[in-house]
Structure 1
């Protein structure tokens, strides 16, 4: 009823007022400020290369404030007659528009309809005259300001049933929505902006009344309220009871989508969560469903078997018509899924696709400061033209399968067809690349590289992640603050929660492969070092992660509950809420600062899972499942970050390689006394049925004997680097878990015993 009333009201505006509106004569100023002119001169070569400057004009008629931006998308609008400004953080607290309406247009560089509307409407002088005379005009790159985009995308979905880009919204001077839509033709858009401007001029109270009704609807439906309405925190036992049904709902949804009409998305976080649940439950249908989903994608044109990399999604239900953009985050998401699938199955085609995708990112997206965000779908003005064969060849490259489902394990890169297709692209005009480096996307990509390294031990993955994270740390941090964007070496846009979260997560993963930090740093607190500007103290991945987590925690601590809960929905990326929760959870496991528990409790408190919304909140659900029961594939951290262990398979045996931080140890097997908990290794199937001892043998290393400060007797210990071997494993054909029971101590205290589970 609300939506029908809203549409009827807007319709009445147009019917009653639009015919009476006469064209307003407004002269667009062609005088250009010196600052804008200088910025244009500095970026002329780039603008020419991107075809923003058409012809040989070196003196454009219009230059707006977007010429100063660090976004290729915004720069493409910088020579339009609209007096655009870009989004500023200050707009969160008000627009200071002097009573004018606010027009916001949100898009991104690889958005086809964004560029269509730009050509049709925003480059048009008549449209510009109406916008400039009646509105404050704000252009937003959704990739720079994801939370701004999410806010208005949610409003558009609620009011119209679906959302897309360009996302256009008109607000009152106070920031309340009065109209929102996506692409409109020039004629329809002109009618909207003229009709609403006229209505605002003649009857502002009617517009304010409409805005108040819409605002009330949005707050009610989007859960914007006070913290007391957020619901109660679920206990661990309540989560344990809910989780199986949640996983089953996702599994059923993934199967249902396989028969849908499209569009089709990769659902990377569904796949990752279901693979993890397979490890916990042993339910093989979860693994089989994910494998089927992956294999269909790899055999489809949505995966570029010629050069590597995944297109953004499929337009149809059969994965045969790609939407040809290639996004960095898509590659990161899919590398993570492929790494997990390869780690569980050992199937070579997952490893091949993972390596080919990373190599494509390295070839196409790598720049001097990180990895560019995206490749356009367009080449020579046509979507997908770069990926299609010429019509006179009699066939299309896209859709042509290099391998079949029966022979997917063959390395298609060795085939003659592959070589021919690769060579045929060499002379084609490549799509444009959005060169901006986004910290969160790059950090997510680093996570994917480290997960690829974990299951393959291919050093190039580790090296790429190391170089990338170093570059982000050195270039995105300025004046002791983290920025979100790097564009041609310039850092801009304050970092968002997701930037801190994914950057910290990546660094904590990297720390697994670094030597333990110097004791000297542990004796000097992080804040004390920063106050003295001892930047060189922040050298290890763990130390850098602490810096990031402290700032992430401040945002969690200072964020209002209603605003935090609005960050729980997944999109093509996992929710900001889940990213923050995951980063702080990792920090607590590996660093153990007390504040981390407080921040986690706050995030848990404000998450109230509902069955109808669980599909769009699954990334957080998977983290809670991991908290209830964590199963590792190849490596684990224990003892609050003071110990590391890696599982390796070597010619008929399993090897557990331990690395204890100096000053920490575990009890040997056998222990010095029955009162101490010996390190114990056992095996079980995925249903937790224990594998009998005669089915395998455990070789424990020789103990180190020493006296510690809290005990006069000599103790049998394992410390430093040591190895436990499992030999003569009788049946290795079915999946099994390796269980490690362990208790870690320092010279002054002992932690509680803990269990580590490995899948093999």
Structure 2
């Protein structure tokens, strides 16, 4: 006899119960007759001549949960939807092509977008109207969801020809925009040097001199911009632009967007001080911030940056890692305040009352050791601005979820806290470390936010890049672990996210209670981001590991990407494959947002792989991309990743050639160079024992060992310096150019 009672069974179950996406499964028991995106729903819409209601979101989206609770779980609303529309749910992370197409429409008609995205389509997939979140009833000056449903029902019944014509004209306009956007002759084409100067000026003007990041609120990490600023500084150290990125890294690390208790970063902060976050933690942010803080450390050797990067690593390995090596998509902003609670609220997992901290510390005083007259509660609450009445401003908490609560933030320094509490920095550091451990252990007893167990190829590529760049830091205490985890990730992706028979990447696979990753019965193949981000990750992994097989796989994937996505007529890459089923328009991304766009990252990849494999076709495609996007302005602000690639193209790449047998001495020579931030660095290892194995056209015949010792040749734009056999000498030569004193940028 089955356990449980009939009352335990859900009242409603729809087709989404057969999906693997956590977001779709969240809606599997709605009374709405949901379909996943596909031919079955579209065929029914055509057969019954009904509008399609397309609802797009993702499982960690706060307002998606709100709209579900208010509208999609409401049986009266569901009855209207089921009678008059064919209702389709899409996970935007699983089908970014569908999301991007109809988000383009929403931006055209509304000027802004977001999720949940709500769009009504004709049976042949032309959008007629839409928006984002709709309240269940008319309020806040917004039409209620039911109101819109009933109006569209009447409009479709009485004037469907007009609606259909409008929808088709919009699709045609989007198609023309893709085809003609970069064909128009710009009034003026800026040179690379002009774009460089323009980038310096705009970042100095647009970044907050006090709190870092872009001026105003909300504040997002915008890592593509941060990484470009490192590159701009390297090109012109006298520009003083480095202070912009270091101030941003410092303020983000100090802010509540950073999880001080354990590690990792939230999506963004609602205020200008990085204090109160939107609490969801997304994998793509963790991967990019690993790179940014690794770049910060390699540029300055400031210990804070390495500590922050290491805490991100600890977080993703503990809370986002699949047992076989891949990484899950992210964690929700909402969670239950207690195990007895019925409703989730935003930030419940992360917020603390003053009394919770005080009582926890009192119960564990013995763990702090001998502190003399110092009160650990006083030190901890002083350092993290924890107040008895809470430290969240009402303007940052419109729903009152954080009333009386504290989000940890640092306004001063450990030394300043020590002075205020009349103790030493060493004592403060020890209290903070032990206190965070206590809060972490206590927090893990709370109901956790929902975990999206979707394993996305592109985002894992970003994590691979972050881990690999962190593994290039020779003094990092966990360096071997970074490299080990990166290596397992490469193996995981090859096994679970590459269809060798079809010679295509998969967009995603899925985790569950088992140790194996699951794939869809009808796979969703990868998009441009999946190829570009993974290829970049493999290039970075080669730099960290010198595993040539990673480069060869990167080359294979680049060739596949070129076959599937390259626009032979105009240049640049489409987002989706040609002839993709039920995709009305093939878009081309032309801006870097929360993630860099596939075209920007591909520009980098083509240059680097073109060097490693002496491939003129790769180099030619990179140049065609620069030409295709040449009229984008301001270029370095809209396409920061591509601006960085353009600098590499115009000013050349650095190359390190180390010749000699494998061993510690040769490894030390490589370490001495990759320790520094050198974008586009090409590394070639030549072993006299296997002289036929070479990259970038370099052979042992051209590069000789000095005194039979492993020897390093450092070259720029095909011009090499004198060979060096001692790692310390190599480091000494690089210090003046690549290491900068961060203290001059601190207040």
**TM above 0.5, one fold?**
yes
Residue in structure 2 matched with residue 446 of structure 1 by the alignment: 464
Distance 1:622 1:138 in 2: 40
Does the alignment pair 1:142 with 2:92? Answer: yes
Distance 1:359 1:598 in 2: 41
Partner SS, residue 143 of structure 1: coil
Residue in structure 2 matched with residue 192 of structure 1 by the alignment: 148
1:613-649 superposed Cα distances (whole Å, 9 cap, x missing partner)? 75332222222122222566xx85799xxx9973518
- How many residues are matched? 613
Residue in structure 1 matched with residue 452 of structure 2 by the alignment: 434
Residue among 106, 121, 142 paired with 2:71: 121
Deviates more, 1:573-582 or 1:325-334: 573-582
Residue in structure 1 matched with residue 642 of structure 2 by the alignment: 620
Distance 1:92 1:160 in 2: 26
Partner SS, residue 261 of structure 2: coil
Does the alignment pair 1:371 with 2:324? Answer: no
> Aligned-pair RMSD on alpha carbons?
4.0
Distance 1:105 1:312 in 2: 22
The alpha-carbon deviation at position 318 of structure 1 amounts to: 1.6
Is contact 1:447–1:505 with CA below 8 Å preserved after alignment?
Answer: yes
Is contact 1:336–1:448 with CA below 8 Å preserved after alignment?
Answer: yes
1:180-215 superposed Cα distances (whole Å, 9 cap, x missing partner)? 101111231111112112111111122234335544
The 5 A counterparts of 1:455-474 are 455-456=473-474, 458-474=479-495
Partner SS, residue 199 of structure 2: helix
Is contact 2:658–2:670 with CA below 8 Å preserved after alignment?
Answer: no
Does the alignment pair 1:556 with 2:511? Answer: no
The 5 A counterparts of 1:541-620 are 541-557=550-566, 561=570, 563=574, 566-612=588-634, 615-620=637-642
Does the alignment pair 1:168 with 2:118? Answer: yes
Partner SS, residue 519 of structure 2: strand
The 5 A counterparts of 1:45-60 are 57-60=7-10
Is contact 1:699–1:726 with CA below 8 Å preserved after alignment?
Answer: no
Does the alignment pair 1:356 with 2:319? Answer: no
Residue among 723, 726, 742 paired with 2:729: 726
Is contact 1:306–1:421 with CA below 8 Å preserved after alignment?
Answer: yes
Distance 1:228 1:268 in 2: 26
Distance 2:270 2:203 in 1: 22
Residue in structure 1 matched with residue 686 of structure 2 by the alignment: 660
Is contact 1:94–1:174 with CA below 8 Å preserved after alignment?
Answer: no
Residue in structure 2 matched with residue 498 of structure 1 by the alignment: 529
Residue in structure 2 matched with residue 297 of structure 1 by the alignment: 252
The alpha-carbon deviation at position 354 of structure 1 amounts to: 0.5
Is contact 2:282–2:330 with CA below 8 Å preserved after alignment?
Answer: yes
Unaligned runs of 5+ residues in structure 2 are 138-143, 337-343, 357-387, 391-404, 418-424, 512-516, 576-586, 660-665, 676-681, 693-698, 741-747
Partner SS, residue 90 of structure 2: strand
1:711-754 superposed Cα distances (whole Å, 9 cap, x missing partner)? xxxxxxxxxxx667637969x9854599xxxxxxxxxxxxxxxx
Distance 1:650 1:128 in 2: 58
Residue in structure 1 matched with residue 505 of structure 2 by the alignment: 482
Q: 1:413 to 1:578 in 2, by over 3 A?
A: farther
Residue in structure 1 matched with residue 347 of structure 2 by the alignment: 384
Residue in structure 1 matched with residue 127 of structure 2 by the alignment: 177
Q: 1:371 to 1:92 in 2, by over 3 A?
A: farther
Residue among 105, 113, 118 paired with 2:55: 105
The alpha-carbon deviation at position 263 of structure 1 amounts to: 0.4
Q: 1:282 to 1:700 in 2, by over 3 A?
A: same
The alpha-carbon deviation at position 557 of structure 1 amounts to: 2.7
Distance 2:112 2:735 in 1: 48
Distance 1:413 1:477 in 2: 47
Is contact 2:658–2:684 with CA below 8 Å preserved after alignment?
Answer: no
Q: 1:373 to 1:412 in 2, by over 3 A?
A: farther
Does the alignment pair 1:422 with 2:428? Answer: no
Residue among 672, 675, 679 paired with 1:648: 672
The alpha-carbon deviation at position 176 of structure 1 amounts to: 2.2
Is contact 1:647–1:657 with CA below 8 Å preserved after alignment?
Answer: no
Partner SS, residue 313 of structure 2: helix
Distance 2:416 2:656 in 1: 34
Q: 1:144 to 1:240 in 2, by over 3 A?
A: same
Does the alignment pair 1:245 with 2:245? Answer: no
Residue in structure 1 matched with residue 581 of structure 2 by the alignment: none
Unaligned runs of 5+ residues in structure 1 are 1-43, 49-54, 518-539, 672-677, 684-697, 702-721, 739-760
Deviates more, 1:61-70 or 1:287-296: 61-70
Is contact 1:453–1:459 with CA below 8 Å preserved after alignment?
Answer: yes
Partner SS, residue 503 of structure 1: helix
Is contact 2:208–2:215 with CA below 8 Å preserved after alignment?
Answer: no
The structure that is strand-richer by fraction is 1
Q: 1:391 to 1:84 in 2, by over 3 A?
A: farther
